[in-house]
Structure 1
Amino acid sequence: MNFPFHIPSLARYLAFAMCILLLSQGASAQRKNRRNDKSKSSKNELSEEKRTELDHYFLEGEKFYILKDYVKSYMFFERALEIDPQNAAAHYKIAEIFNAEGDLAKSLPYATNARNLDPDNKFYYLYLASVQTSLGELDQAEITYSDLVQNIPGTENYLFDLAAVQIYQKKYPEAIASYEQAEKALGPMEEISVQKQHVYLKENNLDEAIREGNKLIQLNPDEESYVMTQAKILLSNERLTEAEAFLNEQIKTRKKNESLYIMLSEVYRKQGKTVEALNALQVPFESSSVDVTAKIRTLAGYLGMLPDQQLNEPLLALAGTLVETHPDSYQALAMTGDLYYNLGKLKEAREYYLQTLTLDGSNFNVWQNILNIDMELQDYDAVIKHTELAMESFPNQASLYYYNGTAHLINKDYQGAVQSFNAGKVYAASDANLNSLFYGQLGDAYNSLGDHSKSDAAYEAALKSKPDNDHVLNNYSYFLSLRKKDLEKAKAMSSKLVKDYPTNPTYLDTHAWVLYMMKDYEGAVKYLEEAIKYDSGAVIIEHYGDALFQSGKIDEAVTQWKRARDLVEDSSTLDKKIADRQLYE
């Protein structure tokens, strides 16, 4: 009998205690009618006086148990056992007392006695199994549950507890047998099939797990979770052909279940059917209930597959659907911009990035992408416009001033370039590389303005921050050579360049021109011949011709000038050199 031992008042306790007596006596009468002498309560053999004394001790024990005075409670139940050692209820109560005091080891023998003395009381089995489980004696708990189901009719529902204990012990075949016994006694049940499927998966018995999954769907075809679980099992275990057929069949009656389409897409992706995988995503992408972040993450996963001509159309279709479904998501617009950028559609990418900024102008990465596209498109007016807009939100970002100044420099607005570089260099001061870049560009701008002293100072500052700045070493040495100033210094810089970059035609040409200005024409010819191996452009070829002329090789010089003339639009200077067979500098 399962006694509720937590009554909050003595008044309720007295009423409850009377109930205990009546139930105890009723149970004794029932056992007397059902069983022989072995089952009879020894209480029936007591004198009236002993029975009264026993009832008194039992009630007192109950009272102090409710009051949580376990010492006194234990004392009275022990007295009860002195009168009737075979009293199952007293053994049970002492077991509960030890349990309440946290001493399960002492509780166990009394719980065992209670069950043995009254093997028809299912609650004694359950309590014993609970104590055994708590003590980690799972094999004994398994026996107790098994005996309960076998000995007491109507307890088949405890087969679930038996199976749980068996699963914990990894006795999977025994657990399956318990569930099948429950199914035989209780009929087909979803819970049984769910549990059997879990066990089969633990055993890695996929065929049986799938069979139980199909049974679950047949038992309750409207339960979406069973369908999803079945699909996940097939997918996660690489049963791709079966998964494809199963998902397509389920989609026929569940056309709005986005998750099925997502899993079907994953099946196609694993099969290498990338276009089909993308097409399957249209339904979930059209749904506003599917998380936009998940959609973006999915699209991003396909960007790594580009370039692939067959993927362009389905990817762009998905991106369009993404933006239509989530028009207020700057992440969706940015992702679409990324897609167009990866496909080389720069103008379209820039348009989506600009739309992104109308929703959230605080994403510096998007500004960076726009500026990169502006530079790739050589749209320097756009660079100036967009950097000025970006500076409103990010006035301390050095790169914005660098882009802005570079665009002014390319547009030959040298004063504007100087202004931008000077304004931005303060934000680059802590970064040696960036600081060197700013001063390098500033040197180019001042040189174009003819302010050589400031140009030289800027180049010196650039090299102080980064001595191996190849752009500065090249330009500084070249401009010095044109001015025929500090040629030894120019030679030292250009020599470093050709040593570090022996195949760079621009650097080889610069070094050659420094040597040319130093009247080392043979050296100039040597490096120009090397430069032509990597770049046969008009400037290098003309320089080669000039060096040959100075070396006294007039015919060869004219031949090179003719080659250079064929590569330029304005050939007036070259025509004069060729016609007069004379060098004009």
Structure 2
Amino acid sequence: MISLLRSLWQVSIPATLAVGIAASPLCAQNKPAQDPAAPSGQAAPKQAAATEKNAATDRASAYYNFSMGHLYAEMAQAYNRQDYVNKAIDFYRLALKQDPSVSFITEELTDLYIQSGQLNKAVTEAEDLLKRNPDDLGAHRVLGRVYTRLIGDPQGQQGKIDEKMLQRSIEQYAIIAQKDPDDTESALLLARLYRLNHDTANAEKSFKAVIAKESDNDEALTGLAGIYSERGDTKQAIDLLKRSSDENPTPRTLVTLAQLYEQSNDYGDAANAWQGALELAPDNDRWRRALAQDLLFSDRLAEARKLYEALVAEDPHDAVVQLRLSELYLQQHEIPKSRAAWTKAHEADPDNLEVKYDEVALLDAEGKTDDAIKAMKSIIDSSTKPEYNTAERAQRDRLIERLGNLYRSSGKYQQAIAAYRDISPDDSENGPRAEYLTIETYRQMKDMAAARRESDAAMKKYPKDRLVVIEHATLLADGGQVDRAINEIDGLKDGKNDRELLLADAQLLEKAKRFTDEQRLLDQAEQLSTTTSDKITVRFARGAMLEKMKDFDGAEAAFRAIIKDDPDNAGALNYLGYMLADRDQRLDEAQKLISKALEIDPQNGAYLDSLGWVYYRQNLLDNAESNLRLALERMGNDPTVHDHLGDVLMKEGKVKEAIAQWQSSLKSYDEAAGNSDTDPADMAKVQRKLEDARVRVARQGRAGDVR
């Protein structure tokens, strides 16, 4: 044991000995007199040598007394004898007196006081020492550690702390930090105490003081980043840790950086940070799971799949991993594999709410929407309670929203609205969102009058909510009041988080065909886009704008650039494919693009309409008709789909059926009257087709040959 203590002392003391010896009471008592022949402030050589000898003697004595204290402490623990405890305390006190700078002496002495229930004695002795010598660092450290132990457990179930002990701890460690600025351990503890006391200004100052001395101190870096994050400045926190991890990566900084990226919903960079942490600690299973999840959330599906399949091979009964693998397979449209993984998750944890919830998405993907609705209602009913706390109410609201979305996607609009109205209106997030979803459902029903009434009421309740304001502005623009709509959105801008609002303004300008102004706003939004996903969103809007401007080459280039960077972007695949089909160009390529979009999102009615239209162009009329009818099932009475189906039926010689589809198309246009998305030119084309078909029916009727 002595050899172990010797090595411990040799490792621990040198870093602190210089300051500690200089500050120790013994050294102060043995301060040499000045040599008359020496320059002012310099000790004579003999006296300096004596000082060094005294310091060495103090160190040797401190080492001896610490070793004896440690020995008696171990014996006290082994034999449960109070006299050994007292002897250990006496030896530790002597060691601390001889070298108060060595922190582990204080730690062991304080721990011994605490373990033996002698806290009052520890405080009394330390206070007595300070009365005799206010600069006794050892006494300050004992008091600081004792007071810190008495603060309580802020992370415990009760979360209570003793404010008086907290203030006393801060007082002691502030003194230590002032008298021993090289004691980074105490400085870090002081910073943590300041944070616990909600004194972020002093906490920040303490962390920065440590970083000034040790630029790579990961605890100080992550602590400072935590302060920035708590202030809402996640970007500054990320920048701080990114610079540090680029120069000197440590597991702690990389893990904190990953978590900050997750808070910003930047899962791609979060995954990169987890990968860096795992390079330093490859066996950390928790980090591997976090990496896999962020790879999944950032759509790096191939990487996520490889990692999840490795994790599930290690533990096939891990419900969470099986569930994530099921979600991944579902995104890759491997529905049988998704079902198999979900079944294993359910077998491992049948009562897990998330497992039950994920089956809803799986049933919907399998085309069993009614079963999905039934499963969702069962989840909601099973979680019904007389009262809910805030977290429970928020979770229930999310479940109800999912039920409403299922109703809406299956054309059951009134049930959807009823579900959205069951969402708590008092929740600051879910209340406005429920209003937004209700308005959108009315729009989808083509009931624009109801949508406007609902939107006006929502604006009175939530005048500063972005979703509500943007939706209200969109309805104003639908009615031709574009400038008023833009003014409403501009009223939310604060110069900090304006990207989403710029995109909303751009969309309104596109409705009004004010493309020059739209281009300017898209340029501004692109400058504020930091993630790949954000940039793709702007590029998509730009491509759509160019298509509306009839700049088809520019639009095609924009969508091809998106597909190059994001090959599974279903929206871009469909848009480009439909654009080619509508212009009767490169139809085989168009069919492949749209088919891939449908592989990614097989329930999307708009994509089914696109595929039906390209089949029409290819003269594959049976395929065209079946896809267009399926699109109507998905989308309800959509004027464009009715128009396309009318064209197909007319080409098949089914004139009366074609007339019925064009009549339905015009009816849908009439129901959407006042919507700026409705193009009068499109309505006029349908009207001409209908009139021509009626003329044909009249002629064929006279000839006795009409279908």
Alignment TM-score > 0.5, same fold: no
Give the TM interval when normalised to the shorter protein.
Answer: 0.3 to 0.5
Alignment TM-score, normalising by the size of structure 2: 0.37
User: Of the two, which has the highest radius of gyration?
Assistant: 1
Alignment TM-score, normalising by the size of structure 1: 0.43
